[in-house]
Amino acid sequence: MSDYSEKVCEACQPDADPATKEEINEFLSGNSDWQLIESDAIKKIERTYKFKNFKDALEFTNLVGEVAEVEGHHPQIVTEWGSVLVSWWSHKINNIHLNDLILAARCDQRFRKFQV
């Protein structure tokens, strides 16, 4: 199984191929907290991270923002008391790109600091 957090993101162009069904299934099988969803006819992956308070949720949100800024690829983030919902998809192709899987795995890495 691949360690998606170690893969390299590539520039996603409007004609880029989406992640294959096999890539998505491999990612989801190794990262069971992520779910494949479809919203407004667009495939996305999403995960809700749980926290003991708002301060930690906000700190994690900022860490996800840093991950996104490094690659110039940005998720939808919903921050609430005790939880952060992160949704990844590539706006240019209205689908899931390999970059989304990579950055989702990097979010999981950042979350480890909050687990007790």
Look at residue 87 in the predicted model and tell me its pLDDT.
Answer: 98
Is pLDDT at 16 greater than 60 in this prediction? yes
Whether pLDDT at 116 is above 60: yes
Q: How far apart, in whole angstroms, are the C-alpha atoms of residue 40 and residue 23?
A: 22
Q: What is the pLDDT of residues 25-58, one digit of tens each?
A: 999 999 999 999 999 999 999 999 999 999 999 9
Q: For residue 9, what pLDDT is reported?
A: 84
CA–CA separation, 53 and 80 (whole Å): 9
User: How many whole angstroms separate alpha carbon 43 and alpha carbon 96?
Assistant: 6
From the CB of residue 75, how many other CB atoms can be counted at a distance below 10 Å? 20
What's the whole-model pTM score?
Answer: 0.93
Domains and CATH numbers, the chain: 18-114 (3.30.1360.20)
pLDDT at position 13 is: 85
